[in-house]
Amino acid sequence: MTPYHLPVMAAECIEAMAIQPAGVYVDVTFGGGGHSRLMLNALGENGRLFGFDQDLDALENVPADPRFTLVQQNFRYLKRFLKLHGIKEVDGILADLGVSSHQLDEAERGFSYRFEAALDMRMNQAEERSAATVLNTATAEMLQRIFGSYGEVRNAKTLAEHIVQARQTRPLQTIGDLLAVLEPLIRGNRLRYLSQVFQALRIEVNDEMGALADMLAQAYEVLKPGGRLVVLSYHSIEDRLVKNFLKTGNADGEVQKDFYGNIFRPFSFPDSKMSQPSEVEIRQNPRARSAKLRVGEKR
């Protein structure tokens, strides 16, 4: 059987967390529970671990461990739901961003161009807005922004115009409908182009950048001084936001100074500022190839 999601840079992530046996930790992207199980192995009997995941499929992976609590919510509500559980401060937070192998490999979820299915892409299937909603209602200007900003698609303007034109004949409802529009417009490597378009749609449908910015801001608030924030990202847009936040405390990377001109530096960097998977891991798990790991320790 294909695993729900093979945890990327698992050993590096656990080492970076610097887990204290009696500490309180959060895995904001629980998914298949791979990282969480390793964190539980490192915790003592008095430690606690909270997992966040908005995908109902993640319920199947919850460990039977009294130290673990699953919060079925988007991680952008991190502070609110920790408070509901009586938690004001934590010792570490782990985020493995992006889409899971399970979501990519489940055809009906609509995340991959490899299968014929409805244009869905919702990580939280209780939400109403799907990829089909975006494609059939967004203006050409909005679609151009989505494909250009979130997918870095070179001919984003042309693509947006063709989608608006195509949907006038009939709505785009399936992956096949979208591929029919995309094929004549593909520039360069076909698989790369399709990946960029699907990535852009997925990010828009799930407001991934907005949710990430919200989570990071709250992560800083709930971390204890000396607490670790460990983040795995998989594309340059995510990584840029994470890098900016760790360096300046905001998603835009704007340097903030106090009254005396001292620069606000929210995190120190215990090791290198960024690391990537080994060649061995990439051979074993090709989906790890674009991963970047960043670690910050709250000052």
Number of domains in the chain: 2
What mean pLDDT do residues 292-296 have?
Answer: 97
CATH number, domain of 272, equals: 3.40.50.150
Shared domain for 139 and 222, answered yes or no, is: no
Instruction: Determine contact, residues 27/51, Cβ cutoff 8 Å.
Output: yes
Residue 196 CA neighbour count, 13 Å, CB half = 22
DSSP assignment of 132-175: HHHHHHS-HHHHHHIIIIIS--TTHHHHHHHHHHHHHHS---BH
* Closest by CA position to 212, among listed 44, 99, 95: 95
- Domain limits for position 168: 125-205
Shared domain for 156 and 215, answered yes or no, is: no
Q: How far apart are CA 206 and CA 127, in angstroms?
A: 9
CA dihedral 98→55→298→13, nearest 10 degrees, is -60
pTM above 0.85, yes or no: yes
For residue 107, being part of any structural domain is answered with no
Q: How far apart are CA 89 and CA 197, in angstroms?
A: 39
Q: What is the percent of the chain with per-residue pLDDT over 90, rounded to a whole number?
A: 91
Which residue is listed with tokens 């991190």? Answer: 78
Domain-ending residue, one of 141, 176, 205 = 205
Domain-ending residue, one of 154, 187, 205 = 205
Q: Is 62 exposed, middle or buried (0-12, 13-18, 19+ CB in 10 A)?
A: middle
Q: How far apart are CA 24 and CA 38, in angstroms?
A: 14
For 95-149, what is each residue's pLDDT tens digit?
Answer: 999 788 788 889 999 999 999 999 999 999 999 999 999 999 999 999 999 999 9
Residues 6+ apart with CB under 8 A from 200: 146, 147, 149, 150, 151, 153
Q: How far apart are CA 21 and CA 48, in angstroms?
A: 9
For residue 132, being part of any structural domain is answered with yes
For 202-231, what is each residue's pLDDT tens digit?
Answer: 999 999 999 999 999 999 999 999 999 999
pLDDT given for residue 3 in this prediction: 58
Shared domain for 137 and 189, answered yes or no, is: yes
- Going by their DSSP bridges, the two strands 267-268 and 68-71 should be labelled as unpaired
Asked whether the predicted pLDDT for residue 2 surpasses 50, the reply is no
Q: Looking at 30-39, 151-160, 267-276, which range is the least confident one?
A: 267-276
- Going by their DSSP bridges, the two strands 292-298 and 267-268 should be labelled as antiparallel
What mean pLDDT do residues 165-169 have?
Answer: 98
Domain-ending residue, one of 159, 187, 205 = 205
Q: How far apart are CA 246 and CA 171, in angstroms?
A: 42
For residue 5, being part of any structural domain is answered with no
Shared domain for 47 and 81, answered yes or no, is: yes
Shared domain for 196 and 216, answered yes or no, is: no
- Going by their DSSP bridges, the two strands 68-71 and 48-52 should be labelled as parallel
